[in-house]
């Protein structure tokens, strides 16, 4: 279910539960285990672009933000909101350059027959003001998130946390939109799943 405080903006038609995606641009979508994180990922791959979503365990998020000045309650509020690490790359080369742009306000989260949009940096500024988070914590949070809007030239890439406003272990579909060579591209990734709220122990050295 959506985390309290994340907006729904209209009812959605029921969606298929397939693991991979059906989409407007016939992009390949890969799933597997991220080698660095050791957690599941979902990745769109198209000529000139890749977008990878990697699960983050709630405990990882709690620890990250408590270390940056958030209270236990505020760090838990983030951790319970379905956080992914998102890696966005423009793979186009000098022989075929192509600027790529996105706006997270165009992305749609579909779960339980409803739709809502992601919460962006601008939305969180309001929340942290209401919750009276410190200015240093707010700054760390803002820089940790994927930017709301971004433009990538050939060879550019970056990463940041994306927050989908769902409870741990919730399945959802995601409509991802970007603009490439003057065209809007849309891909739906079906069967993405928020990380469960488990508490694994660190591996022995």
Q: If you average pLDDT over residues 156-164, what whole number do you get? A: 95
The pLDDT of residue 18 is 33
Least trusted range by pLDDT, from 12-21, 72-81, 118-127, 178-187: 12-21
Question: Closest Cα partner for 145 from 78, 80, 194?
Answer: 78
**Within a domain: 198:** no
The pLDDT of residue 8 is 37
Q: Are 178 and 100 in contact (CB under 8 A)?
A: yes
**Within a domain: 203:** no
C-alpha pair distances (Å), 111 with each of 10, 93, 151: 12, 37, 28
The pLDDT of residue 16 is 32
| Percentage above 90 pLDDT, the chain | 74
d(CA 111, CA 79): 18
In this model, does residue 10 exceed pLDDT 90? Answer: no
The pLDDT of residue 202 is 67
Q: Are 192 and 114 in contact (CB under 8 A)?
A: no
The pLDDT of residue 93 is 78
Calculate the average pLDDT of the chain: 86
Q: Which domain holds residue 60?
A: 8-193
Instruction: Give backbone dihedrals phi and psi of 155, rounded to 5 degrees, phi first.
Output: 85, -5
Number of folded domains in the chain? 1
pLDDT digits (tens, 9 = 90+) for 41-54: 999 999 889 999 99
More confident position, 147 or 200: 147
The pLDDT of residue 177 is 97
The pLDDT of residue 1 is 45
Q: Which DSSP string do the residues of 71-134 spell out, in sequence order?
A: -HHHHHHHHTT-EEEEEEEE---TTS---EEEEGGG-EEEETTEEEPPP-HHHHHHHHHHHT--
Axis-axis angle for helices 72-79, 58-66 (nearest 10): 140
In this model, does residue 2 exceed pLDDT 80? Answer: no
pLDDT digits (tens, 9 = 90+) for 16-44: 333 333 334 567 899 999 999 999 999 99
Q: If you average pLDDT over residues 65-76, what whole number do you get? A: 96
The pLDDT of residue 97 is 62
**Within a domain: 37:** yes
**Within a domain: 199:** no
């Amino acid at each position: 279910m959506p985390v309290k405080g994340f907006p729904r903006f209209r009812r959605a038609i029921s969606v298929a539960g397939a693991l991979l995606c059906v989409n407007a641009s016939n992009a390949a979508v890969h799933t597997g285990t991220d080698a660095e994180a050791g957690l599941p990922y979902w990745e769109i791959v198209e000529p000139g672009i890749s977008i990878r979503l990697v699960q983050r365990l709630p405990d990882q998020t709690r620890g990250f933000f408590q270390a940056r000045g958030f209270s236990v309650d505020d760090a838990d509020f983030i951790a319970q909101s379905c956080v992914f690490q998102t890696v966005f790359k423009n793979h186009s080369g000098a022989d075929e350059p192509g600027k790529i742009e996105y706006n997270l306000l165009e992305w749609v989260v579909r779960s339980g027959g409803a739709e809502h949009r992601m919460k962006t940096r601008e939305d969180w500024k309001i929340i942290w003001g209401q919750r009276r988070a410190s200015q240093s914590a707010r700054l760390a949070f803002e820089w940790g998130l994927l930017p709301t809007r971004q433009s990538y030239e050939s060879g550019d890439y970056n990463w940041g946390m994306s927050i989908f406003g769902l409870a741990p272990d919730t399945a959802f579909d995601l409509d991802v939109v970007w603009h490439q060579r003057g065209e809007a591209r849309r891909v739906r990734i079906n069967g993405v799943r928020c990380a469960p709220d488990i508490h694994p122990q660190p591996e022995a050295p």
